[in-house]
A = this chain, B = another copy of it.
Amino acid sequence: MAITVVGSVAFDSIETPAGRRERCLGGAATYFSLSASFFTQVRVIAVVGEDFGAAQQAAFDARKIDTQGIEHASGKSFFWEGSYLENLNEAKTHTTDLNVFGAFQPKIPDAYRDSEFLFLANIDPVLQRRVREAMPDVKLVAGDTMNYWIKDHRPALLEVLRGLDILLINDTETKMLAANTNLVQAARAVLDMGPRMLVVKHGEYGATAFYGRDGIGARTFRAPALPLEEVVDPTGAGDSFAGGFFGYLASQKELTPGAFRRAMFYGSVMGSFAVEEFGTARIEKLTREEIDTRFSQFRELTHLD
């Protein structure tokens, strides 16, 4: 079943201990779409500027991603510059130029209306809510957010959370959102805010799924991550996780508890590929066979017998 995703399509300049790259194709919706496209049809809602050219479009086309919802505006695309020199787990942001994204008004193409899955990538919760309300008939809605919205746009974010089935955030964001430093207690508080499922991403340690009382997958579940020999660029790992997770769910006929557990593993798998090269390079050239091989490795990693 098709996923519609709304979020940023951007250019990123990134510095890590492995080197520096200028103006890679980036943005949460980009990583999410590329990752989810290995599992299902993906449709993007975003805005780009005049600097978004044939090379960038080709990355989406190669993965058969529907981009008719990407609006082309005059001006420059969203630009982010960041580094991970001291800590590979946390980006230090040097520049955030919203550019055409500053006046973004998401428009949903008619052809997207029958999407059964909706992903609200990390953008202004006011926009997330608008898209959510414009697609009331979707079967499952997941979303992401970040510290900036949690700290300074809490009321708008809380309204988004009430309309979410699944929230995917990291440890720090979970604890910040709940104002509680114990992960389990914080997770329960976040589930009380609306989502039926909370996926907490732990970076190199995998991710944990927590469920609310009417929970989808019932028991708390942890997907491990493979310890990686080399992390070249952590940018987009979380969005790639979300793409693998939600893309796999959308590919399933029935959303059983087992499907949610496997989705957690596929999320972890896609996140682990994302960091192996700068920007989207590794995800762009992945094959489904590589994905399934790593899925088996991850299963082996914690399998007792």
Given the interface pairs A205-B202, A205-B205, A208-B227, the reply to whether A302 lies near B221 with Cβ below 8 Å is yes
User: Given A182-B229, A206-B224, A221-B302, 18 more contacts at CB 8 Å?
Assistant: A17-B181, A182-B228, A182-B231, A184-B227, A184-B228, A184-B229, A185-B230, A202-B205, A208-B227, A220-B227, A220-B301, A222-B224, A222-B301, A224-B224, A224-B302, A258-B304, A258-B305, A302-B302
Q: How far is the CA of A183 from the CA of B206 in the complex (A)?
A: 15
Interface status of A21 (Cβ within 8 A of chain B): no
Write out, one digit per residue, whether chain A residues 192-204 have a CB within 8 A of any chain B CB (1) or not (0): 0000000000101
- Tell me the minimal C-beta distance from A276 to chain B in angstroms: 13
- Tell me the minimal C-beta distance from A215 to chain B in angstroms: 15
Q: For A208, what are the chain B residues with a Cβ–Cβ distance below 8 Å?
A: 227
Interface status of A154 (Cβ within 8 A of chain B): no
- Tell me the minimal C-beta distance from A71 to chain B in angstroms: 40
- CB pairs A–B below 8 angstroms (9 shown): A182-B231, A184-B230, A202-B205, A206-B224, A208-B227, A220-B227, A222-B227, A258-B305, A262-B304
User: Which chain B residue shows the least CB distance to A208?
Assistant: B227
Write out, one digit per residue, whether chain A residues 48-79 have a CB within 8 A of any chain B CB (1) or not (0): 00000000000000000000000000000000
- Tell me the minimal C-beta distance from A252 to chain B in angstroms: 14
Interface status of A29 (Cβ within 8 A of chain B): no
Q: How far is the CA of A34 from the CA of B208 in the complex (A)?
A: 30
Write out, one digit per residue, whether chain A residues 217-238 have a CB within 8 A of any chain B CB (1) or not (0): 0011111101111110000000
Given the interface pairs A221-B302, A258-B305, A302-B224, the reply to whether A181 lies near B229 with Cβ below 8 Å is no
